[in-house]
Amino acid sequence: MHVCCWGTPCSRLAWQVQCEPELHGSCQPLLSAATLRVNTQPCPASTSTATSTHACMQALVKGQRLIVDLSFEDKMTDAELKSLCQQLAYCYSANARSSKPMHLIFTGVQGRMKECINKQCSGFDNWIATKSEATYLVHFKEETEQLVYLTADSENEIQELDPSKIYIVGGIVDRNRYKNLCAGKAEEEGIATAKLPIGDYVALSSSSVMCTNHVVEIMIRQQELGDWRAAFEAVIPTRKRKAGDTSDAVPEDNIPAVKEEPCAPASAPAPQKQKKDKAAVKGAAATKPRKETASVGK
């Protein structure tokens, strides 16, 4: 099967090649006559899936660019690396569901990071996103002045998204071991930094440092809704809210949690207790006759 320049099998996106060839650009001349005949068949995907795919394909061409910097593999344990890969899957899923997705770019995909992604993120090679082993400085060497690293340690606050900018989110799970990591890296590289205006809209119970997928989804929601408050309220879970915050927080963390065994209902222990009581009564009853018999014998 031919794979187009966007990393997606063309036979799956037949309707796009047929109706919007400009989205495939250099891919179309590479298609054989046999492949083109296959691509004239109707797309078997559902309407919702086709619409989502179409939007993500368009985002690759003209969407707001958002980098996830995956160059911190040396600072994470295997468990933390696995957790990050799970977050990357959430990032991609949130973007794919959006009515106005971003152009996701994963840089630094190499070594342990690449191995873990291939194991943990099913179909990563077919994600409608840009994947690069190079760092963002190399990948965007002609546009370094447009790079903006998002970090809570920045003194600059974003008020609105700039389509010309290329925003960067640090891809790391470190349990807050490293302080000013992303801000320090950006300063060394001479690129701009900025932070989300969380404090203007939401009162947090602790630090404004957030996990990778939360930051990515907030950016996606902001582009989709054009409203920071709505974006924060849709993503930030209740557990991170400060007591007394009356904004419409999501009641639970919207990240799919690791599957756990269901908790027993409050009434569940009752039968066990009752069974224990019956056993106690039975034991008491069995003991009583022996005592009576003994007393009679005397």
Residues tagged active-site: 174
Q: Under DSSP, is residue 6 helix (H, G, I), strand (E, B) or coil? A: coil
Q: Under DSSP, is residue 157 helix (H, G, I), strand (E, B) or coil? A: strand
Burial call 79-95: b when 16+ CB within 10 Å, e when fewer: ebbebbbbbbbbbbebb
The span from the CA of 147 to the CA of 191, in Å, is: 6
The span from the CA of 104 to the CA of 151, in Å, is: 18
- Which residue's entry shows tokens 């069974």? 275
